[in-house]
Structures are given as structure tokens and as C-alpha cells.
Chains A and B, each alone.
Chain A
Amino acid sequence: MDNYQQFFIDTIPYLRRYARAYTGDVLSGDALVRRTIECAHSLINFLQDDTDIAIWLFSIMHNITLEERKTTESHPDNGVLNIDSMDISLLEDIDPEEIDIVTALAQLPAEQKETFLLVSLERFTYDEASQILNVPIGTLILRLNSARKFLIKRLLIDDFAELRAAQ
């Protein structure tokens, strides 16, 4: 495929958005994007002409995160950034409201989180998201349902949210 570099450059902002939402901070997100681009350069010869490069790149990123989850399976964080255990200095430039959504996302299981982010944040269709995640649509819908219920409970219904609303 010719001029794929331009597609890469066009997709990078969306990759960065997804990666930052997934990892929870800038540096880890950009590192994930960098690894994705490197991997994509090495795999560019396997890219079919009819493939959507954005979906392809997101699937590469998903596979990278999948590998990381496997290697860090025994880790107490389970490969997912735990905001509560992080140094608070990393969160200095984040709004309190943002901390809520970021914290809630960090507490989501990784599969639910990436499904929710692909659908709600990146606005992929269910077909595209199922291609990216390599899961059937039914599984996708179940994960999406679980993620949304968790987030609603965490952000809008729990006691902490009520306290915050009272303030």
C-alpha cells in the first residue's frame, strides 16, 4: 500500500486518545502508540489493500495490550494502571472530574474497558470493534453492558457520588 505513512499520521491522534484513556497517563499512552506504529511498520507488507488502516492499527494496539496483559498476568495490578496506587504527582494536571472518569476506567477490567472505549470514545461500530478485538458481537455487547453498568454505578449511583453531588 502506498502512502500508508500518511494514514499512520492521520490515525495517530485517535490512537493517542484511545491509548491515554486505556493506560491512564500520557507517557504510557504515547509509548503504546509508539510500539503500535513500530509494529505496524514491520507488518506493513502483510497489509491488504482493502483493509481499513485505522481498524488495523487499533487491532495491533489491542494485540500489544493483550500481550502485555499476558506477561503481567501475575502482577497485582493485572496489567492495568491502578490510579489509587500511583503517585499523586502524576495526576496534578488532571481535573477532579477527570480523575473520576479516569479512576473509574482504571478500575474496569481491561476487556470491558477497551470495548467501552472503542465504542463510546472512538465510536467504532460493533462490527469494527469486534474486528479489532477479534471477538463476536455478542461478547462485545456483553462486555459493553457490563462496563456501562459498572461506570454508572461507580460514577453516578454510589455513595461517593451522592456525597459529591451534595457538595
Chain B
Amino acid sequence: MIVLSDKLSTESFHAFIDEQLSDEQYLQVEAQLDEIPDKLEEIQQCHIINERLREVFDPIVEEDVPEDLYSLALYGINSEYHDDTQDFQQFGYEFDEARNAVTGFNGEIATPLDSFDAALELQDENFIDTNEIDANEFAELEALSAGDDKDLTDFDIDNIHNSTGNILPDIFGDDTKSAYGSSTYPLRAAEDQAILDDIGSLTLEPLEKDDQSAVASNYSSPLEQPHLDNLPELSTEDRADAQSMAPEFELEPIERTITSASFDVPELQFEHASVVPDRQAAERNYLQKQQRVLDTLEASEELSLEPLEMEDGAAAIRKSKFIEPMGTISTKANVPVDTAEMPGSPDASREFDNKVTPAQSDDDQFAPQRNQEGLFTGFASDETKGNTKQGPGIVSNAAQTMAKANTKDRLIKTAAGITDTPEYSVNEIMESLDEIPDSGEQAPQDVVAEFFAANKAESDFEVNDVVKEFEEVSDQFNDHYDQNTFGSPVAQIRQKADAIFSGINYKFSALKNSFVRKEQESIQDFNKAPSSIRINISEPPEERIVSTTFGAGAGVDETSGPEGLSRKIGDTLKMYKQKLAHLTVTENTEPADNREPRQFDAASQVKNYKQIATHALERMSPENRMTIGGAILLVIGLMVGGSIASLFEQPVNAISTDKVEQLAIDAHILYTQQSQNFAGNPSASITESMQWLSARIGRQIRLADVQLEGFKHQRAIVIPTMVSYAIANIFENKSNQSITLFVASTVDPVANSPLTCRVPAGIDGLCSWVKDSVQYVAVANLSLSRVRTFSETLMGNL
């Protein structure tokens, strides 16, 4: 409330400006202001400033309140952490804004307050129990599992397959699998070791394949691909020379695929192929495709997954179809036989140069097959020559000359460019063009050029059109991807696939290595180590029963063990379990093989462990042995040293009577001479302080609060002795003379000592005694006789 005076005050002046005056006061101040014109000007200036201030800042009130401030004012600090909808959404529930509630799967509404608990309850209700689930829901997984007697925990990572076959690489190989499949479980040591050796030799294979395929994939792009065979002017010898000049091609199966697919064979075929060109083309396609597949499989055996395997399967199907029309599929062994049979018929030898016999056509059809066989030994033409030369050498001279003439004739015709002009249908060309994406490593126009260069055929008008059109497209294609350093999309995809499959194989090989290592270790430990203790063991029959029942309880059935030790997680875990649980069974069954009764008892088990330990030590490197020996020595040294030290051990808490006396002197000097500055416990009587001490040290100390020569207990101070509990009781008389009674408990029992009085430096009198392991020290700047009297009085009261 503003109180106005006759003269204008500062308060009323500002109250006038701020309009905080009543009407009467306002008039009064106004009258006062009229007498002071300077103040009027100041008031105007203040109003100007107020107006400016409000101009600037009043619009802020009209602004919209920020969202965060609004929610903060509404919900408080924890508003953002108590968003119930978020809690629900992570469980799959939704927040129904209309009902302001959270709804679950079953339509139940949970209130936002107990949202989290309700969500958990709802989740429990909706929990899918795999035991009660319909069998159809896991039908796929069950179909994928290895056997009928295995549940999903025994899921075999090797046998994940679909209808087309195994979709994962068989990194362990069929041999190992079959080896494990034939063995019963648990394995015997020797058998185990053989199998494990097998596996160990196989461990590095996927990685090597990876490297090989990686090298091969470097040449898989068409830009880097040297198309030696597609040069039409090259003769056979030139190509052989070129091949010898580029020996690195010998290392690449894929390169060989190209050479063999395109080189001599089509020429041989189409020179005489007038009988059934369609079928020959189909067979050639099939053979080339099969060859390519085989080569690819050779190059990356396990990298080729589903697509290639499907191709392989399709090829197998096709092969079975072609067996009948082709008669006998030629292998290396069949070639001489064929050539021997062929000259056996005189008609065939007579008509050789002029007509094409069915046998001849068959022989020519088999040429690619032979090429395929000779993939890894040399060039296709050489192989053909070698076969044709070798075969007649075995059978007859006539056949030899005929075959020589045959090949020579072909070579002459090839060099001279004289060829028959077979009629090609557009469909045939289109079929061969369809193969282009499959070849992958060849550019399309190269395939076309190779096709016509190999056949030396003057194509007709339609074919020219088609080829020209296709060449234009392929030129565009190549121009586009010449600029792209990453190669064609096919190569890109193939490289990516190679990378992915190599990653998969690497992981699988690592997994397999770890399995193999663990199994080797475990088998060494459990199967090999106890081998020497089987000799001198007596047999108490009860233990045998116990061990067998124990084994049967855990469900080990040796005869119906898992089919093969496939490297799967479930089996490995189970194997460890069984090995741990049924060590005894293993011990007991192996004697049955040797027709030698054995038993298992505690002594043997100790020996068993000893054996294991020694075995482990033997396997250790010398450095590890040194380390472990040093550790054992260190432990022994610590134990011995600790026991020796404990003999001389003194309690760290030990406090001597002299120390207590010194503390008492210090306390007396400190607390009696600076009594005003020190706040002790003034209300505490000597009884109370003794009760406090009694409670701390666990023994009852009784010290009566008596009037001792006019001294009265003034205060008690707890002294930090770092050891035990001590209290300085200060007594004073009316003449401000003070005596300090220092009561200290000792941790260890101390023998009672009688009252001893002395005059230490700086103190006129000190008396000390010990009773019941509690030391009492009376210190005073009084005569020794008075202190002694005081002390004796206290002793009498104890």
C-alpha cells in the first residue's frame, strides 16, 4: 500500500507512472507534480519507454505456445517418457484415439495407466505355443528336417533341400557323409580318426575353390576375354600356336569351355551333317551346354548352387532322352571301338569320301564328346587327331588310313574354304543365338561370327538380315558396356553371386572347421585317453548296473544313433551331452567288442582324469608347460608364504597401553584447554558414555557417576583412535580444574594391570590401569596424589 506524504516521494512518483494509485491518491500526486515541471517531463519519458517496451514484447503473448511447452505444462516432465502408445506399438498393439485406449489382438482394451502390464498380459495370452501348434504350420520345416525321428532342434544344415535338390553347398562332401552314415554312434577311436582325417583333408577345399573361381571370374567379362577361336582366318595350327603362346589359358576351365565349344567340332559336324541337321544341332546344343555345366562345376564345385544344379538335372534328363537315338554314347574307351566298327563294314569304307553314312555321322556327333573328355589335357583338335590316330592303330591299317584321310580332307577343305553350303533355317540360327546368354563369357557378335566362320557357310539373304540386325544390337550393347568398367550385367551378376557364394562357403567352412576341431578334441579326450586303463580293472557288479541304468536314463541308444555324424549344431551338442553323460557306456561297450569284461569305478575314473591331464600336457607346447608350471609354483609359493606369514601375524589393530596413554594426554590437552571451541556431548553423564562404549565393544562397562572430590562429569568426547572405541570423559570442579578420564577398549584381550601413576612431560599427573581389556587413563594438571586418589575412587566404583 502506497502511503503518500506531502512531498512527492519516489515511490509515489513511480506508482503514478505505473498507475498503481487509487483515484484519490492519483489526484493528490497529480497536484504535487504540477509544482515540479521536471518530473512531468520524466514521466513522459517513462511512458515512452513503457510504450516501446510493450510494442516490442506484447505481441509475444499473442503467439502460439510451442507444442513442447504445451505438452510439458499439461503432462509434466515425464510426458515424453510415458507415451503409452509407443509401449504398445512395440508389442503390435494399437492406440485407438476414439476410445483413448489401447486395443490388442483380441479386441481387449487396456487402460493407458496400466498399459505396459496389460500389454504383457495380452502378450502372454496371445503367446503362440509351439507344442500346441497345428502340424501344417511347420510342415515345411519338418519336410526340411533331415529325418522323421528328429525334431526341429536337430535341424540339419546340410540337408536343407527343396524339390530340386539340396539348396546349400555340400561342404562336407558326400564321401564324408556316407562314411559317417555307415558308422554307428558312438564311434570307435580308429574309425573316428580316419573319418576326421578325411574331413581334415577336406577343410580347405571350399576356400581353394573360392580362389579358383575368383581367378576365373576375372576373365569372365567379355572385355578381357580373348576370343582366339572366334578369329575366322586362324587355321588349326595357328590356334594351337596361339594357345601355346598363351599358356595361362590352360589353367582356366572356362576358357577351355569356349575353345572346345566353338572350335573344330561344328566344322566336322556341318561338313557332313545333311542327314538330320535339326537333331544334330540339338545334340550339339546339349553337348555344349552339358560341357559348360561340367566345366563350371569343375571350376566351382560347390559355388554352383541351385541354377547350375537345375541345369545339370535338366541335362541329365535330356541325356537320357538322347541315349536312344544316338545309340551308344561315346566315351574315351568307346572311340576306338566305334572307329573299329566303322571300317568293319565295307560299304562304309567305300562310300566314305562321297556320302555320309549313319556311322560316320554318329562318329562326328561324338566329336564334341571327345573334346569334352580331353578338356584338361589339350586342345580339341589335338584330341580329335589323337583319338582318330590311336583308334586305327589298335584295330587296323585301313581304318587308320581312312581316318587320316578323313581328317586331312577336312583340314584341306577348311584351309581352302571349300565347304558345302548347308541350308540353315532361321529357327536354327535363332536357337543357337538363344544360347548366347548362357555362354556368358562371349559377346553375342562373336558367337555369331564364330558360328559362321566355323562353318564357312555363305549364309542366305534371310540369315544375313538377321545377323546384321543382331550385330547392330550387339554393337550397341558392347559400346554401352565398353564404357562401363564393370563389365556386362551378366558378368556383374555372376561376380556378385560368386562373392556371395564364396562368403557362404567361407562361413560354412569356418563352422565346419570349428566342429571338426571340437570333435577332434572331444574324441581325443574321451575316447583315446582312457584306452590304457582297460587292463587291470576289477568288476563290482553293482556299479555296472548303476552305470548302465544311468546311461539308459539319458536315452542313449547306440544302435539307433543318428545317421552319420553330420555336422549340425543339434547333433554336435547332443553328441557332447551324450559323451559327457554316457562315458561309462562307452567304456562298457567297447570291451564287448574285445570280448574282455571291463568295469568302471572311481579308481579308474581318477586314472582316467590323470590320463586326460597327462594327455593334455603332452599335447601342450613347451612354452605353455612352462607357463602352467610357473603358475602352479606361484600358487604354491603364495600358499606357503601366507601360512608362514600367519605365524608372525600381529593384529593390525593392536594398540599398546603407551599409545593409549599418549592419546589420553593429547585429548586432555586438546579438550580441556580449548573447551570453549569444542562441542562435545555436554549432556552425557559418565554412565551414558560408558553405555555407549559398552554397546560398541560388546562388553558391559559400569562406571558410576559419582562426585569425586568435587569433580563433576562435564562432557564425553568420542576419540578417533583408528583402532577401537575410546571416550574422553572430562570432569571439572568449581574452580575449573579438569581431569580427563580416557577409557579405551582394546581389540585383543589384555591382561589386567594395576594402577600405575607417573608424571609425563607436560602433564602433572597420569594414572593408568587395565581391567577387563579396557584401559582407563586419568590425566590432569593436578598433583599426582590427587589424580591417584581420583583414580582409586573410580577403580573402587568399577
Q: Do A and B bind each other?
A: yes
- A contact residues vs B (CB 8 Å cutoff): 5, 8-9, 12-14, 16-17, 20-21, 30, 33-34, 37-38, 41-42, 95, 97-98, 100-102, 117, 119-121, 123, 125-127, 137-138, 141-142, 144-145, 148, 151-152, 155-156
**Closest CB-CB distance, B600 to chain A, in whole Å?**
71
State whether the Cβ of B57 lies closer than 8 Å to any Cβ in chain A. Answer: yes
Q: Is the CB of B72 within 8 A of A102?
A: no
State whether the Cβ of B279 lies closer than 8 Å to any Cβ in chain A. Answer: no
Picked from A14, A34, A156, the residue with its CB within 8 Å of the CB of B72 is: A34
Q: A21-B57, A145-B14, A152-B46 are in contact. List 18 more A-B contacts (CB 8 A).
A: A12-B73, A13-B60, A13-B62, A17-B58, A21-B56, A30-B66, A37-B73, A38-B76, A41-B72, A41-B76, A97-B52, A119-B14, A120-B18, A121-B57, A141-B10, A152-B42, A152-B49, A156-B48
Q: Which residues of A contact B54 (CB under 8 A)?
A: 120-121
Q: Is the CB of A98 within 8 A of B56?
A: yes
Complex-state Cα separation, A42 to B72, whole angstroms: 12
Picked from B17, B18, B52, B69, the residue with its CB within 8 Å of the CB of A12 is: B69
Q: Which residues of A contact B70 (CB under 8 A)?
A: 9, 12
Q: Which residues of B contact A30 (CB under 8 A)?
A: 66, 69
**Closest CB-CB distance, A129 to chain B, in whole Å?**
10
Q: Which residues of A contact B72 (CB under 8 A)?
A: 34, 37-38, 41
State whether the Cβ of B50 lies closer than 8 Å to any Cβ in chain A. Answer: yes
Q: Which residues of A contact B10 (CB under 8 A)?
A: 141-142, 145
Name the residue in A16, A21, A127 with the highest tally of chain B Cβ atoms < 10 Å from its Cβ: A16
Chain B 747-771 interface mask (CB, 8 Å, partner A; 1/0): 0000000000000000000000000
Q: Is the CB of A34 within 8 A of B68?
A: yes
Knowing A13-B61, A17-B60 are in contact, say whether A137-B11 is a contact too (CB < 8 A). yes
Knowing A20-B60, A101-B56 are in contact, say whether A148-B46 is a contact too (CB < 8 A). yes
B40-88 contacts to A, CB under 8 A, are: 42, 45-46, 48-50, 52-54, 56-58, 60-63, 65-66, 68-70, 72-74, 76-77
Complex-state Cα separation, A119 to B103, whole angstroms: 53
State whether the Cβ of B425 lies closer than 8 Å to any Cβ in chain A. Answer: no
**Closest CB-CB distance, A42 to chain B, in whole Å?**
7
Closest 10 A/B residue pairs (Cβ): A8-B73, A41-B76, A17-B60, A13-B61, A152-B45, A98-B56, A141-B11, A9-B73, A38-B77, A21-B57
Give the residue name and chain of the B residue nearest to A44 (CB). B76
Complex-state Cα separation, A33 to B60, whole angstroms: 13
State whether the Cβ of B207 lies closer than 8 Å to any Cβ in chain A. Answer: no
Q: Which residues of A contact B15 (CB under 8 A)?
A: 126
Q: Is the CB of B66 within 8 A of A101?
A: no
**Closest CB-CB distance, B26 to chain A, in whole Å?**
15
Q: Is the CB of A17 within 8 A of B73?
A: no
State whether the Cβ of B20 lies closer than 8 Å to any Cβ in chain A. Answer: yes
Name the residue in B57, B58, B63, B65 with the highest tally of chain A Cβ atoms < 10 Å from its Cβ: B57
Complex-state Cα separation, A142 to B45, whole angstroms: 18
Complex-state Cα separation, A156 to B42, whole angstroms: 11
Q: Which residues of B contact A41 (CB under 8 A)?
A: 72, 76-77
Query: 28 interchain pairs (CB within 8 A)?
Result: A5-B73, A5-B74, A9-B65, A9-B70, A12-B70, A16-B60, A16-B61, A16-B63, A17-B58, A21-B57, A30-B69, A34-B72, A37-B73, A98-B56, A101-B52, A119-B18, A120-B49, A120-B50, A120-B53, A125-B20, A126-B15, A126-B18, A126-B20, A137-B11, A151-B49, A152-B42, A156-B45, A156-B48
Q: Which residues of B contact A98 (CB under 8 A)?
A: 56
Complex-state Cα separation, A61 to B57, whole angstroms: 18
**Closest CB-CB distance, B433 to chain A, in whole Å?**
68
Q: Is the CB of A37 within 8 A of B20?
A: no
Q: Which residues of A contact B18 (CB under 8 A)?
A: 119-120, 123, 126
**Closest CB-CB distance, A61 to chain B, in whole Å?**
13
Name the residue in A100, A120, A126 with the highest tally of chain B Cβ atoms < 10 Å from its Cβ: A120
**Closest CB-CB distance, A151 to chain B, in whole Å?**
5
Chain B 23-42 interface mask (CB, 8 Å, partner A; 1/0): 00000000000000000001
Chain B 465-506 interface mask (CB, 8 Å, partner A; 1/0): 000000000000000000000000000000000000000000
Complex-state Cα separation, A117 to B54, whole angstroms: 10
Interface of A, helix, strand, loop or mixed by DSSP: helix
Q: Which residues of A contact B73 (CB under 8 A)?
A: 5, 8-9, 12, 37
Q: Which residues of B contact A102 (CB under 8 A)?
A: 56
Complex-state Cα separation, A5 to B73, whole angstroms: 6
Complex-state Cα separation, A138 to B50, whole angstroms: 21
Q: Which residues of A contact B65 (CB under 8 A)?
A: 9, 12-13, 16
Complex-state Cα separation, A13 to B66, whole angstroms: 10
Complex-state Cα separation, A141 to B12, whole angstroms: 9
Chain B 685-713 interface mask (CB, 8 Å, partner A; 1/0): 00000000000000000000000000000
Q: Which residues of A contact B52 (CB under 8 A)?
A: 97, 100-101, 155
Q: Which residues of B contact A120 (CB under 8 A)?
A: 18, 49-50, 53-54
**Closest CB-CB distance, A90 to chain B, in whole Å?**
15
Q: Which residues of B contact A148 (CB under 8 A)?
A: 14, 17, 46, 49
Q: Is the CB of A9 within 8 A of B53?
A: no
Knowing A17-B61, A33-B69, A141-B10 are in contact, say whether A9-B77 is a contact too (CB < 8 A). no
Q: Which residues of B contact A145 (CB under 8 A)?
A: 10, 14
**Closest CB-CB distance, B65 to chain A, in whole Å?**
5
Complex-state Cα separation, A23 to B611, whole angstroms: 82
Q: Which residues of B contact A101 (CB under 8 A)?
A: 49, 52-53, 56
Give the residue name and chain of the B residue nearest to A26 (CB). B60
Give the residue name and chain of the B residue nearest to A141 (CB). B11
Q: Is the CB of A9 within 8 A of B74?
A: yes
Complex-state Cα separation, A100 to B53, whole angstroms: 10
Complex-state Cα separation, A97 to B73, whole angstroms: 33
Complex-state Cα separation, A30 to B2, whole angstroms: 35
Knowing A42-B77, A141-B10, A141-B14 are in contact, say whether A37-B60 is a contact too (CB < 8 A). no
Q: Which residues of B contact A37 (CB under 8 A)?
A: 69, 72-73
Give the residue name and chain of the B residue nearest to A137 (CB). B11
Give the residue name and chain of the A residue nearest to B2 (CB). A126
Q: Which residues of A contact B60 (CB under 8 A)?
A: 13, 16-17, 20
Complex-state Cα separation, A97 to B60, whole angstroms: 16
**Closest CB-CB distance, B613 to chain A, in whole Å?**
65
Name the residue in A5, A117, A142 with the highest tally of chain B Cβ atoms < 10 Å from its Cβ: A5
**Closest CB-CB distance, A94 to chain B, in whole Å?**
8
Q: Which residues of A contact B2 (CB under 8 A)?
A: 126
**Closest CB-CB distance, B70 to chain A, in whole Å?**
6
Give the residue name and chain of the B residue nearest to A19 (CB). B60
Complex-state Cα separation, A31 to B60, whole angstroms: 15
Q: Is the CB of B69 within 8 A of A156?
A: no
**Closest CB-CB distance, B777 to chain A, in whole Å?**
50
Give the residue name and chain of the B residue nearest to A117 (CB). B53
Q: Which residues of B contact A151 (CB under 8 A)?
A: 49
**Closest CB-CB distance, A147 to chain B, in whole Å?**
10
Complex-state Cα separation, A27 to B72, whole angstroms: 16
Q: Which residues of A contact B56 (CB under 8 A)?
A: 21, 95, 97-98, 101-102
Q: Which residues of A contact B61 (CB under 8 A)?
A: 13-14, 16-17
Give the residue name and chain of the B residue nearest to A149 (CB). B42
Complex-state Cα separation, A38 to B72, whole angstroms: 7
**Closest CB-CB distance, B54 to chain A, in whole Å?**
7
Complex-state Cα separation, A145 to B2, whole angstroms: 16
Give the residue name and chain of the A residue nearest to B62 (CB). A13
**Closest CB-CB distance, A9 to chain B, in whole Å?**
5
Knowing A16-B63, A34-B72, A145-B10 are in contact, say whether A156-B49 is a contact too (CB < 8 A). yes
Complex-state Cα separation, A17 to B56, whole angstroms: 10
Complex-state Cα separation, A14 to B65, whole angstroms: 10
Complex-state Cα separation, A33 to B73, whole angstroms: 10
Complex-state Cα separation, A125 to B11, whole angstroms: 12
**Closest CB-CB distance, A99 to chain B, in whole Å?**
10
Q: Which residues of A contact B62 (CB under 8 A)?
A: 13
Q: Which residues of A contact B17 (CB under 8 A)?
A: 148
**Closest CB-CB distance, A165 to chain B, in whole Å?**
12
**Closest CB-CB distance, A114 to chain B, in whole Å?**
13
Complex-state Cα separation, A152 to B20, whole angstroms: 21
